[in-house]
Amino acid sequence: MKHIYSLLIVTVLLVSCGGDKEKSVETLIEKGSLQELRTKKQELSQQQSELKKQIALLESKINTLDDTKHAAIVTTITLNDTIFKHYAEIQGDVETNQNIVIYPQFSGILTQVYVKEGQKVSKGQVLAKIDDGGLSSQVAQVQAQTALAKTTFERQARLWEQKIGSEIQYLQAKTNYEASKNASDQLQSQLGKTTVRAPFSGTIDQVITDQGSAVNPGQNPLMRIVNLDDMYVKADVPETYLGKITIGSEVLVAFPSLNKTYQGKIRQVSNFINPDNRSFSIQVALPNKDAFLKPNLIATVKLNDYTSEKSILVPNNVIQKNGNNESLVFIYEPKSDSEGTAKRITIKTGKEQNGMVEVLEGLKANDIIINEGARTLRDGQEVSTKNTSNE
């Protein structure tokens, strides 16, 4: 302490002397002697250098005696064992097997369209009618002929059972009836194609062809029908995950455009590796009670490829690197309720997920690490905690 007081006295004396010499500087300036001015400047520079040295000594001693002057303010995290799940992300698309465009199966004029866009329909419901071009009249005529052929065959069969008539007459009657029946069935099948029915229950998403238009099989799409109840995400997974992904594997499916995430399980895994991109496809069933999901919606599929039941996790931002590319963190060693020491340690890290890094070696449960303020610390530095949180 006496040393400090001595330094202070020396400094004050130097400053006081500087005040007297400043007057002589003014005198020298008025006198205007170049040699004397240069000599005085050199003296003052030496005095300035001495003052800086004295001030530096004072600051060093003050810092040594003042324990709280450089105690960095930090926040801490108490580590706990926790379950760590790592997810690999791939892109997929929403699909449904019940999303089709209905085409006509008969050539003619689209005489009636019984539904409109957005309308819900049931399986088998009549959606539209195509003009049959007189086919119904042909069906009626052939049906009458079939009825006559049937009656003739039945009578001839009874006679043949009574051994009346020849076998040729019986066989001719039978052949005529079967041929007429086949022709009638074929025409009725053709006539049925003039009526367009819903192949499954769903919603009419779009009416493509207007009523009154001429349509032909495979050329003129009539309408699109979609069922949003059985929705799933299809994605291509790199073959490196083949041993990790199975039916029933847990996945998370995120939809950025909807800001929604669903949890689901894989319901189907392809048995084929695509040679073009070395991947296999998976399907993940999704609930769609609110009908938010639409076919071709982009999804991010997160595959759970790694799980650890007891892991130590730390925020990525507290990890630093040294010149050897080793991972470093500062742990907090408390001295009192709010004061302690920062100790730098080396850790071994594993996988990262959502800004948290798994620590494989170097930390354990109940260790306290420094979070905010860690970037500016040095090993062994005194610190003061602002608050302590649990991870």
Distance of CA 7 to the CA centre of its chain: 67
pLDDT band at 7; cut points 50, 70, 90: very low
Q: Which CATH class is domain 72-83+309-390?
A: mainly beta
The CA radius of gyration of the chain, in Å to the nearest whole number, is 46
Phi and psi (nearest 5°) for 214?
-85, 135
pLDDT of the residue at 19? 45
pLDDT digits (tens, 9 = 90+) for 106-162: 999 999 999 999 999 999 999 999 999 888 888 899 989 999 999 998 988 888 888
pTM for this model (two decimals):
0.55
pLDDT of the residue at 278? 94
pLDDT digits (tens, 9 = 90+) for 67-77: 555 578 889 99
Are residues 195 and 127 in contact, defined by beta-carbon separation less than 8 angstroms?
no
The Cα 145–Cα 139 span in angstroms is: 10
The Cα 329–Cα 342 span in angstroms is: 10
What letter would DSSP give residue 18? H
Classified as helix, coil or strand, 164 is coil
Distance of CA 389 to the CA centre of its chain: 29
Give the Å distances, CA to CA, from 128 to 105, 125, 195, 207. Answer: 12, 9, 6, 11
pLDDT of the residue at 1? 45
Supply 51's token pair.
């003052």
Arithmetic mean of pLDDT, 307-335: 92
Arithmetic mean of pLDDT, 344-366: 93
pLDDT of the residue at 121? 94
Stated as kind and residue range, the H or E segment containing 30 is helix 2-31
Beta carbons within 8 Å of 143's beta carbon, 6+ residues apart: 184
Who has greater pLDDT, 286 or 30? 286
Tell me which of 28-42, 184-198, 208-222 is least confident. Answer: 28-42
pLDDT of the residue at 332? 93
pLDDT band at 10; cut points 50, 70, 90: very low
Mean pLDDT, the chain, integer? 86
pLDDT of the residue at 14? 47
Closest CA to 120 of 201, 231, 207, 224: 201
pLDDT of the residue at 45? 85
Phi and psi (nearest 5°) for 79?
-85, 145
